[in-house]
Amino acid sequence: MKEKVNAIIELLKQRYSDAPCALHYKADYELMIAVRLSAQCTDARVNLVTPGLFAAYPTLEAMANADISDVENHVHSCGFYKHKARDIVLACQMLLSDFGGKVPGTMEELLRLPGVGRKTANLLLGDLYGVPGSIVCDTHCMRICERLGLSKGRDPEKVERQLRAILPPEESSDFCHRIVLYGREICTARNPKCDQCELAPFCTEINKSQGSSD
């Protein structure tokens, strides 16, 4: 398994030399907001919405004092806009009241923030703090890792544990970013491009996934 994991990591690195977060942000709290908006929404949609939101509320203090109904208007197209707008404002208020205006750097603290679950917390730990072992278990990650025989099932917490047991901790955050890119480009949910897939030698589902849903 170790050799297989390392080979997959290297092949992904060859395809994607960088492993950028797909969400656009400048400040740490902006990433927290963008990740909250990305739930059940595409990163591309979030990146269209956040410039207007961040321009309207250009500081953490401004966001914490924002009128929730106005934030709802900004984020409406991301879906679940009422929950997202409320979480964004309340989380920004908590950053100021409890964390000195910084996104905290531990899982325990992050999970106290409204709207922040393990997926968001892992992404923030990996991207803001470079914490080894951060695993962002999104739909691309679970689908592709299952196809590659690295994990089983679609329960994010279980898959996170399975991947933590086999991925080198220092590689895990970048691995997850690259897997998302691969999931968009090659190993798509429906009709994956198996004929263009360099990971095919490791795949347990090659050619079985044509037409599958996610």
Asked if residues 80 and 37 have their Cβ atoms less than 8 Å apart, the reply is no
> Which residues carry out catalysis?
119, 138
For 111, residues 6+ apart whose C-beta sits below 8 A from its C-beta are: 117, 118, 121
- List the structure tokens of 168: 């080198």
Q: Which of 157, 209, 213, 214 binds ligand SF4 (CB under 6 A)?
A: 209
Q: Residue 197 interacts with ligand SF4 (CB under 6 A)?
A: yes
CA atoms within 13 A on the CB side of 146: 19
With 0-12 / 13-18 / 19 or more C-beta atoms within 10 angstroms meaning exposed / middle / buried, residue 37 is buried
Q: How far is the CB of 214 from ligand SF4 (least distance, A)?
A: 12
Span from 15-23, 49-57, 104-112, 200-208 in contact with ligand SF4 (CB under 6 A): 200-208
How many residues bind ligand SF4, per CB under 6 A? 15
Q: Residue 78 interacts with ligand SF4 (CB under 6 A)?
A: no
Question: Measured between alpha carbons, how far is 209 from 191 in angstroms, rounded to an integer?
Answer: 7
Span from 38-46, 48-56, 162-170, 187-195 in contact with ligand SF4 (CB under 6 A): 187-195
Q: Residue 96 interacts with ligand SF4 (CB under 6 A)?
A: no
For 45, residues 6+ apart whose C-beta sits below 8 A from its C-beta are: 77, 78
Residue number, 152 or 193, with CB nearest to ligand SF4: 193
Q: Residue 199 interacts with ligand SF4 (CB under 6 A)?
A: yes
Amino acid letter for position 16: Y
Q: Which residues bind ligand SF4 (CB under 6 A)?
A: 144, 147-148, 186-187, 192-194, 197, 199-200, 203, 205-206, 209
